[in-house]
A and B are shown apart, each in its own frame.
Chain A
Amino acid sequence: QQQVKQSPQSLIVQKGGISIINCAYENTAFDYFPWYQQFPGKGPALLIAIRPDVSEKKEGRFTISFNKSAKQFSLHIMDSQPGDSATYFCAAISNFGNEKLTFGTGTRLTIIP
């Protein structure tokens, strides 16, 4: 059972555009939502994360929007650059006795010139 659903599977965006990746979760016990970025040939690395007590978190060109009632969260990449081309994974975790991250299926993002 996929507890975190991610879409789209792949995404092509023109340089300078906005990239948007969406995730939805089912488990209401989740209380921390990180995004990981993976470049080809590398392991994933933490990019940005949010707790459900805020609706938005911004770090540079990267923003997470969070909708607790809809159980959805999304990653927005503003002014997308070719260097942002990577696979992005959303994830969720409950910090109350749950010792595992649950990952989405990943989005392969390609930024074209």
Chain B
Amino acid sequence: EAQVTQNPRYLITVTGKKLTVTCSQNMNHEYMSWYRQDPGLGLRQIYYSMNVEVTDKGDVPEGYKVSRKEKRNFPLILESPSPNQTSLYFCASSNRDHVNEQFFGPGTRLTVL
């Protein structure tokens, strides 16, 4: 089954404790992206990657890191999480030429205390 998977689905952590949210896709997509979803703000892009070893900042990259060492994986790293990073996070992927049609993962709900 073609899908984007994220782990964990739910995470409660404390301020300053480094964490990684994993994302993997099995559709051989070049493009991958991370979004955060907050009430009243919609979906805002954090980082995206057009291919292996190529990453770029989205609209809200502060406090986040990403890496793209393999085509299928695109982890999101929070080096020192803060309460304002409490949010619902989505990973998405698409073919490079069809960024308008992205396939989203199920989401990771993160709470930073």
Contacts and interface: CB of A to CB of B under 8 A. Distances in A.
A18 interface: no
A29 interface: no
A59 to B, nearest CB: 14
Contacts of B100: 32, 34, 49, 91, 93, 95, 101
B86 interface: no
Interface in B56-73: 56, 58
Nearest to A3: B59
B78 interface: no
A19 to B, nearest CB: 18
Contacts of A99: 31, 48, 50, 56, 99
B58 A100 contact: yes
Interface of B is mostly: strand
Interface in B84-108: 90, 92, 99-107
B41 A43 contact: no
A8 to B, nearest CB: 12
A44 B35 CA distance: 11
A54 interface: no
A66 interface: no
A46 B98 CA distance: 12
